[in-house]
Structure 1
Amino acid sequence: MRGVGTWALAASIVNGVVGGGIFSLPRSMAASAGPYTMLVYLVCALAMGAVVVCFAEAGSRVPTSGGAYGTVEAAFGKRWAFLCGIYIWLASVLACGGIAVAFLDGIGTLTPALAGPGARFAMLLLMFGGITAINLRGVGLAARIIASGTVIKLIPLCLFLVVGGFAILSGHKPPETVAPPETLDFASFAAAVQLALFAFCGMETPLAASGEVADPARTVPRATMLAMAFVPIFYIAIQLVAQGLLGPALAGSAEPLADAMKQVSPTLGLVLLFGAALSRLVWIGSDIFGAPRVLFAFGRDGLLPAVFGRVHPAWRTPYVAILFHTGIALFLAVTGTFEGLAILSTLATAGIYFLACAAALSLRRRGIAISGKPLAFRILAPSAWVGMISMVLLVAIGKMGDIAGFVAVTLGSLALFAVMRPKARVA
């Protein structure tokens, strides 16, 4: 039954994009891009605008459950859809590890006694163990917890904008610290671009439910463009308020939004700390709820080893896929940093968006439309090329090790498909 309307889908997309990373991102952007932070945001917003045009038209042509996976399959077949699915899972598990690191950093700021390596590892086991147990016991409880936490996630961010913005307009002066030199080397610029794109990623996850929306040929593109027009404005406003409250000190802040709010009110600073921790928990819970289903579907269909397709006999949940996903995320959180994992997640997402832009062009050229009259943007072709070139450049400006890893994942996934395809239960 198709019952999700434009505003509901747009809210879902905003929820998927505005994750726990925004509580750490202002510091990372200030440290990487310095005075050029707003320019980096705007450049990335333009690149994402081109991608959104492609998602909107492709979504109006193939509004099936699966989102980018479904449009890539309709355009290019199972092989490239499998690669897109691998990118989706990889981006999710890398982001999960990165947000978990940010969660630990926040807890360490709130309670310094928990900042040591032993305490951090114990908290990781407790956090991932609890969230995994909830997800293993059934989708109903997990979905209710995630839904209740979604609104709570946005409250501290809105509080930060309102209170912080009012303080700046009332004449607040940031603390006096020495400003870093206004220079930007290539490595810092590359990191800033990749981190900014990380902030805009996530629309592909809620769009996987496109098959359940009302009048999808109209609802999907409208919701996508509405949500993704709001997100950059929201992020830039948060960055501006954080910079206005902390000034040059922003680049060295462990919890930038909480530290910025402490300049106005220590009590509200604590509220932001708790809000950041809760938001990150909700995001991690949502990721563990959804992302392992990609592995489960591939295991069920014979595109991954059959063990990933197993369902728990009592709880009817894909327990092997959930445990595997959580185990990988735990390992990444123990060994990685927020910035490093966020950048790697962005590279995987670049693969998704490249394929989605190419799919939009192919669907238009072949005249494919499975649900009513589709959109036909005049700027689709230039948007698709801008999107594809942007994603190639996003990978190309990365570190050599990261690029090599991306290439290895791509080639390995295509090789795995070639091996598993004859056994698959797919057309």
Structure 2
Amino acid sequence: MAGARTVAVEEQGRDHGLVRGIGIFGMAAAITNEVIGSGVYRLPASMAAAAGAAAPLAYVACLIAMGAIVLCFAEAGSRVPTSGGPYGYVEAAFGPLAGFVAGVLVWLSALLACGGVAAAVADILGAAVPALSDALPRGLFIVALLGGMAWVNIRGADTAARFIGVTTLIKLVPLGLFLIVGGIALASGHGATTAVTAPPVTTIDRAALLAFFALSGMETPLSASGEVRDPARNVPRALLLAMGGIGLLYIGVQIVADGLLGAGLAASKTPLADAMGTIGAGWRVPLLAGAFLSMLFWIGSDLLGAPRVLFALSRDRLLPAAFGRLHPRWHTPHVAILFHAGLAILLALSGTYEALAILSTLTIAPLYFGACASAWVLRRRDVAVMGEALRLPALPVVALVGMASTIALVAFGRLAEVAALAGVLAGSALIYAIMRRR
């Protein structure tokens, strides 16, 4: 139990001054908001092009893999519910170097995605209002968007969680409408006359990558675990509640889109809106609005979780002390939030959405591997720093499935993508060595 006491002391120092005001539904909403971004509105077409009618099966396979990873996150999160989320789990299990690399992966993945999504939101707005597509108004919109979301998060984690909870409900309404109206239409015989075509076998691996990427993102909101009430109970419950519902939602959306568009699904740039358009032209509008709002509100979850990684690394003296400062009134890591938002603005202004998204998604593989392994190690050491921890049956088997899945994820990547990931890992280790010497 000496190890558990050591981790408890480190966590208390890391989270000192934070207010644990986020409840189970606030955290579940943040996870849902983070995972369900713009991808759900575009992914059905990509999945159809890569896997054809087998796309729902690709989701099921990835749900099994992601399910194992989620279970490991749930147990590890109940044992070390601290700022930085998986950074804390990996650091407690394998030491500061592994923890630092994990923290960098969480933050970098979230930063790249935030910049890409903000750029995409600006592009959608520019397409709808051409006057806003010029460089200056586009740049001002990006600054206002990320600056506004940063302000909401600086005003308090509980305020941000309530905001995210409301916005998550808003962004789920169009998807619920799609499932209900589209499902009724299919049941009434209003389906496509041509079925989704079968793709080449060589593209199935890309379909698996797409589905896995679509289900990722839980690690960013979990970085705010240091501000969750009764975290040993609420962190795993929020995670399981959110990810279970998300998996069912994605499968349902793919099935309805397949049924309504058929062979036309793979070529659609706005698949959900086009699918609803087969029922009536007026049904396109709420789905197009949903795609815009989904990306807009996603940024709020990113700015809730990702800056807490910088905060945690600073509190552990692995980054400059400024990132560990708390706002004197709202007790939030305002410097870290502003820094993260500032870098995201620069990335968004560059407009390189595709490159940012690819690197962002691939960086999660070693992070998920480390989180699965840390759950196993923390169980063996019986580390539980805030109340009784979750104890999953057959955890070693679950962890092995999760780790094997992440290895397969990297194997599916292209050479340039894997090389970029290797550079991130090597660069993180170098930064750690420099900071430790200083």
Q: TM-score, length-normalised on structure 1?
A: 0.86
How far did 1:233 drift?
0.7
Instruction: Answer with 390-399 or 365-374: which moved more.
Output: 365-374
How far did 1:383 drift?
1.0
Q: 1:161 and 1:91, CA in 2 relative to 1: closer, same or farther beyond 3 A? A: same
Alpha-carbon distance between aligned partners in 2 of 1:374 and 1:314, rounded to the nearest angstrom: 33
**Alignment of 1:328 onto 2:344:** no
How far did 1:54 drift?
0.8
Alpha-carbon distance between aligned partners in 2 of 1:105 and 1:132, rounded to the nearest angstrom: 15
Q: Which residue in 1 is equivalent to 2:141?
A: 127
Whether the 8 Å CA contact 2:123–2:133 is kept in 1: the answer is: no
Whether the 8 Å CA contact 1:353–1:391 is kept in 2: the answer is: yes
Letter in 1 for 2:240: M
The 5 A counterparts of 1:12-23 are 12-23=30-41
Whether the 8 Å CA contact 1:9–1:220 is kept in 2: the answer is: yes
Q: 1:102 and 1:240, CA in 2 relative to 1: closer, same or farther beyond 3 A? A: farther
Alpha-carbon distance between aligned partners in 1 of 2:61 and 2:50, rounded to the nearest angstrom: 15
Q: 1:299 and 1:350, CA in 2 relative to 1: closer, same or farther beyond 3 A? A: same
Q: Which residue in 2 is equivalent to 1:33?
A: 51
The 5 A counterparts of 1:186-201 are 186=202, 188-201=203-216
Whether the 8 Å CA contact 2:83–2:309 is kept in 1: the answer is: no
Pick aligned residue for 1:183 from 150, 174, 199: 199
Alpha-carbon distance between aligned partners in 2 of 1:261 and 1:109, rounded to the nearest angstrom: 21
Q: Which residue in 2 is equivalent to 1:396?
A: 411
Alpha-carbon distance between aligned partners in 1 of 2:428 and 2:96, rounded to the nearest angstrom: 12
Whether the 8 Å CA contact 1:89–1:292 is kept in 2: the answer is: yes
Whether the 8 Å CA contact 1:3–1:212 is kept in 2: the answer is: yes
**Alignment of 1:352 onto 2:392:** no
Q: Which residue in 1 is equivalent to 2:71?
A: 53
Whether the 8 Å CA contact 2:30–2:301 is kept in 1: the answer is: no
Q: 1:121 and 1:193, CA in 2 relative to 1: closer, same or farther beyond 3 A? A: farther
Alpha-carbon distance between aligned partners in 2 of 1:44 and 1:36, rounded to the nearest angstrom: 13
How far did 1:356 drift?
0.4
Alpha-carbon distance between aligned partners in 2 of 1:27 and 1:391, rounded to the nearest angstrom: 24
Pick aligned residue for 2:283 from 228, 245, 268: 268
Q: 1:165 and 1:101, CA in 2 relative to 1: closer, same or farther beyond 3 A? A: farther
Q: 1:212 and 1:145, CA in 2 relative to 1: closer, same or farther beyond 3 A? A: closer
Indicate the SS of the match to 2:318: coil
Alpha-carbon distance between aligned partners in 2 of 1:155 and 1:290, rounded to the nearest angstrom: 24
Q: Which residue in 1 is equivalent to 2:434?
A: 419
How far did 1:225 drift?
2.0
Alpha-carbon distance between aligned partners in 2 of 1:353 and 1:120, rounded to the nearest angstrom: 40
Q: 1:104 and 1:229, CA in 2 relative to 1: closer, same or farther beyond 3 A? A: same
Q: How many residues align?
A: 412
Whether the 8 Å CA contact 1:299–1:307 is kept in 2: the answer is: yes
How far did 1:194 drift?
1.6
Pick aligned residue for 1:256 from 242, 256, 271: 271
The 5 A counterparts of 1:228-243 are 228-243=243-258
Alpha-carbon distance between aligned partners in 1 of 2:72 and 2:150, rounded to the nearest angstrom: 36
Letter in 2 for 1:183: P
Unaligned ranges ≥5, structure 1: none
Whether the 8 Å CA contact 2:78–2:231 is kept in 1: the answer is: yes
Alpha-carbon distance between aligned partners in 2 of 1:146 and 1:228, rounded to the nearest angstrom: 16
Pick aligned residue for 1:164 from 171, 175, 182: 182
Q: Which residue in 2 is equivalent to 1:77?
A: 95
Aligned-residue Cα RMSD (Å) equals: 3.1
**Alignment of 1:362 onto 2:377:** yes
Whether the 8 Å CA contact 1:106–1:276 is kept in 2: the answer is: no
Q: 1:159 and 1:345, CA in 2 relative to 1: closer, same or farther beyond 3 A? A: same
Whether the 8 Å CA contact 2:359–2:420 is kept in 1: the answer is: no
Whether the 8 Å CA contact 1:195–1:342 is kept in 2: the answer is: no
Instruction: Answer with 26-35 or 130-139: which moved more.
Output: 130-139
Alpha-carbon distance between aligned partners in 2 of 1:272 and 1:55, rounded to the nearest angstrom: 32
The 5 A counterparts of 1:284-295 are 284-288=299-303, 290-295=305-310
How far did 1:63 drift?
2.3
Q: Which residue in 2 is equivalent to 1:317?
A: 334
The 5 A counterparts of 1:194-233 are 194-233=209-248
How far did 1:148 drift?
4.3
Alpha-carbon distance between aligned partners in 2 of 1:7 and 1:311, rounded to the nearest angstrom: 25
Pick aligned residue for 1:62 from 48, 61, 80: 80
Alpha-carbon distance between aligned partners in 2 of 1:311 and 1:55, rounded to the nearest angstrom: 27
How far did 1:240 drift?
0.8
Alpha-carbon distance between aligned partners in 2 of 1:244 and 1:376, rounded to the nearest angstrom: 41
Q: 1:376 and 1:320, CA in 2 relative to 1: closer, same or farther beyond 3 A? A: closer
**Alignment of 1:279 onto 2:294:** yes
Q: Which residue in 2 is equivalent to 1:374?
A: 389
Alpha-carbon distance between aligned partners in 2 of 1:247 and 1:123, rounded to the nearest angstrom: 39
Instruction: Answer with 69-78 or 320-329: which moved more.
Output: 320-329
How far did 1:191 drift?
2.1
Q: 1:203 and 1:237, CA in 2 relative to 1: closer, same or farther beyond 3 A? A: same
Unaligned ranges ≥5, structure 2: 1-18
How far did 1:199 drift?
1.3
Q: 1:55 and 1:402, CA in 2 relative to 1: closer, same or farther beyond 3 A? A: same
How far did 1:145 drift?
5.8
Whether the 8 Å CA contact 1:179–1:248 is kept in 2: the answer is: yes
Q: 1:255 and 1:145, CA in 2 relative to 1: closer, same or farther beyond 3 A? A: same
Alpha-carbon distance between aligned partners in 1 of 2:227 and 2:323, rounded to the nearest angstrom: 25
Q: 1:199 and 1:283, CA in 2 relative to 1: closer, same or farther beyond 3 A? A: same
Identity of aligned residues (%): 48
Indicate the SS of the match to 1:168: helix
